[in-house]
Every structure is written in C-alpha cells, then in structure tokens.
Structure 1
C-alpha cells in the first residue's frame, strides 16, 4: 500500500527508511552516498535532510508498505522559485534490494506523479547515474533524456567517476 508520510508519522517509519537507504547503498545504488556507509549515516540523512522538509511542507515522502514493513520510498520536491511553479524534482526512489523486480518502483512513481498533478506541477525532473538500471525504468515510465554530464558522481563502491543522466517528463 502506498501512503504519504508526514511529520507525525515520520518516527514510526524511520527505522524502515534507514534500513532501505542503508541496504540500497550497500547494494551499489548511486544515490549520493559512498561506502563505507553506516546505518547511523542513513538515519542522519532522514532526520537531518528529509524531516525538516516534511515539517515545512517542501517535500512529499511516499512509502510502499507491505505487512507493516516499508519496502520502498520516493520523494517529490516541488520547485520553490517563483518562475518554476510548474516543476518538481523526483528524488531518492529506493526499493529494498530484497523487494526488487516486483513493480514497487512503478507504483511509487505513479503515486508521485498523481500528487504532482494534484499540486499543479506539469514537469518532473530527475537525475540518475547513467549506468543504473533505474534509467531504463524511468524511460519506460515516459521520462525523456535531457542530457548527460560526464564524471558527475563518484561510484559508490569504487574510486572512479561516472556520468549522470538528466531526465524529464511532461505531465500536461
């Protein structure tokens, strides 16, 4: 089941969110972190970076829960600048490695897209490491490639730089 987490329900979800982020980084996901990466660092990300934005209403946090366990999450971040009221960023689509290849990413992205439309956002933007399987997922969901930046991010497992692909989807 997909739900949106708010500040009141954040503490209940924090343990599972920490586990998902930590497991995804350990599995090689390029989501801003590199190894070594501890559960404490994962927890700090959620508490220090996500929770304040939930409190101010500048971020929507979606979760996929099955049997009382959160297995996936994604964030919608509406652009804040006055000349971008039509745009929102997609961030941190994470599915626990043990729950992948079941369509959870697609379901999470559908909920995110519905919320974007509800908020009057007609353009979604994201970036992903060019070699990540998520790029294929995003393309299958209708995202278009805007371009690629070489040497944009460090590989989470090895000391080498990799390209990142910027993508967009028009919702109108």
Structure 2
C-alpha cells in the first residue's frame, strides 16, 4: 500500500480511478454527498471539480494505491477557508474502496494528511461523518474529539435520513 499526494495534473489524469472509488463507496451505502442511482458521469464531474481545487492550491488530495498501483482510497485537506481561520483545515472525502477496507488505509491516509497539515501550519482539523459509522470509530481511535451530532443532517444514498457527527483534532 502506497500513500501519496497528487498534484492537480496527476489527479486530473486519474479521474476515472477516483470516480471508481467514489462510485464503489456510494453503491456500498456510504453517505458522502451522492444519491443512488448515480447518474452517468456524476462521479467524474465531482472529481474534475476537486482537481481544479487541487490545481488552484485550495486543497491537497491524498490517495492510497494498492500493490498494482490502482487508487483504492482518497482523502482531502481543504485549506481554502475564511481569512479568520488560517490555523484550521477541513478534512473531506475519506473514501476507501470496499476491496481495500480493514487494511489500515483510512489510518494511513489520515496520518499523511496530518503531516501535511502541520507542514502548512494548521493546528486544528475538522470533519464530519455519519454518526456511528465505521469511519467514526476510526476517527475516535486516532484521537479525534467528538464535537456533537446533528440529527437528520443528510440522506443515505438509498434515501433514509441520517445524523452526522462533527469531530475536531488539535495537531
């Protein structure tokens, strides 16, 4: 397993792989901003927008690659925040393909992201995830602090509402 940061050009060249991970997560039931059925091109369009943000310096994109070099996980550090929050960054789109779960991918992505955040002078990270999800257990195990839950915050990909939990981590 290889964890690394992609620049905008490489991310754009790998949009199809990134879209495959997103599609797999949504089809597997992850509430990550998309509903089923996924329209053709929806995942690719999302990743093209992300690559624009990477190229513009608004975010950093990390990927996990399996032994064959295929992307099997993603995580973004969003640094394009208001002027009064130069010390903070948002963590976004922790996605791990079902074929790569329970192999430490999420933890390794988070650790790489935290190193980058420190390099950038960030001292507080913030994220949200479905309350009680596998991801929430990973965050808590890695020292993220629960800030609170919001009921009926979003919908699961197949329609029912779910609550979200906000987490933060001083680094």
Structure 2 length normalisation: TM-score? 0.95
1:21 aligns with 2:33: no
Q: For residue 79 of structure 1, report the CA deviation from its aligned partner.
A: 4.5
TM-score calculated relative to the size of structure 1: 0.94
Give the whole-Å Cα distance in 1 for the aligned partners of 2:20 and 2:139: 24
2:112 is equivalent to residue 138 of structure 1: no
Partner of 2:74: 73
Equivalence for 1:152: 153
Aligned length: 169
Asked if structure 1 preserves the Cα contact closer than 8 Å seen for 2:59 and 2:80, the reply is: no
Following superposition, the deviation at residue 125 of structure 1 comes to 0.1
Distance 1:88 1:29, change over 3 A: same
The Cα of 1:87 is off from its aligned counterpart by 0.3
Gaps in structure 2 of 5+ consecutive residues = none
* Large movers: runs of 4+ above 6 Å: none
Q: Distance in 2 between matches of 1:88 and 1:39?
A: 31
- The answer on whether the counterparts of 1:16 and 1:70 sit within 8 Å (CA) in structure 2 is yes
In the TM superposition, residue 81 of structure 1 has moved relative to its aligned partner by 1.4
Query: 1:57 maps to what in 2?
Result: 57
Measured against aligned partners, the alpha-carbon deviations of 1:62-119 in whole angstroms (never above 9, x if no partner) come to: 0111222111110000152121111000000011101100001100000000000000
Aligned partner of 2:34 in structure 1 is 33
CA distance in 1, matches of 2:12, 2:126: 28
Secondary structure of the equivalent of 2:12? helix
The CA deviation at 1:38 is 3.8
The alignment yields a C-alpha RMSD, in angstroms, of 1.1
Give the conservation status (yes or no) of the 8 Å contact 2:9–2:55.
no
In structure 1, the gaps of 5 or more residues are none
SS in 1 for 2:43: helix
Tell whether the 8 Å contact from 2:12 to 2:51 is kept in structure 1 after alignment.
no
1:19–1:39 CA contact under 8 A, matched in 2: no
| Cα distance in 1, alignment partners of residues 39 and 69 from structure 2 | 24
